[in-house]
Chain A
Amino acid sequence: DTGVSQDPRHKITKRGQNVTFRCDPISEHNRLYWYRQTLGQGPEFLTYFQNEAQLEKSRLLSDRFSAERPKGSFSTLEIQRTEQGDSAMYLCASSLAGGHTEAFFGQGTRLTVV
């Protein structure tokens, strides 16, 4: 297992289109997090899963955003009807549950909405 992987690395889409990103966490990690990072800012929390359960969603996650982790392994983040303001780096991280443990990050998916 080489770490957290995200696909695609880059996505350019037209405004109004739907996009879906995938994250494959480290295999034994039961927690998975999604973050969004805009230019010049630190990442901001979007949502996290423990196994297949989505335990928390940020208010940043509007109803156009949906995340799933159907089998408790990989996760997808879908953005419907994309807007230019959705342009950002979407980062995925995973960790073990139980207290506070180190998170490992993927390379991110850079979304550009034109």
Chain B
Amino acid sequence: KNEVEQSPQNLTAQEGEFITINCSYSVGISALHWLQQHPGGGIVSLFMLSSGKKKHGRLIATINIQEKHSSLHITASHPRDSAVYICAVGGNYGGSQGNLIFGKGTKLSVKP
């Protein structure tokens, strides 16, 4: 079982729909990241959070530390939101500091 699981793996939505991507993890963490990866490979950091909720524009990220679960929401989705969204967790693993464990990503396609 992967230490970071995302669902769904693939998601197709119509423009304007509200989208939710889920991330569950099994390790102790100090922070969770939501990342966006466009075709071509570059990764952009969307959020880093360790508790509660953060909002940036149409994007909202929440985390429940007790349940080891986070969600990324996109309101009023748009075709330019089409990308792979990756959840990654960071913390101390056996003395390691700072490196991230990644989920496999959720491929989002928003149709006009």
Name the A residues within 8 Å of B102 (CB-CB).
35, 42-44
Write the chain A residue with the least CB distance to B91: A100
Given contacts A91-B41, A91-B43, A108-B41, contact A100 B104 (CB under 8 A): no
Write the chain A residue with the least CB distance to B104: A42
Binding site secondary structure of chain A = strand
Interface footprint category on B: 20 to 34
The answer to whether A103 has its CB under 8 Å from any CB of chain B is yes
CB distance from A90 to the nearest CB of B (A): 9
- Stretch in B12-20, B28-36, B62-70, B74-82 with 4+ CB within 8 Å of A: B28-36
CB distance from B102 to the nearest CB of A (A): 3
26 sample A-B contacts, Cβ–Cβ < 8 Å, listed by A number: A33-B98, A33-B100, A35-B100, A40-B104, A42-B88, A43-B88, A55-B97, A56-B96, A89-B41, A91-B43, A93-B43, A100-B30, A100-B31, A100-B97, A100-B98, A101-B98, A103-B45, A103-B90, A104-B45, A105-B42, A105-B45, A106-B42, A107-B41, A107-B42, A108-B42, A108-B43
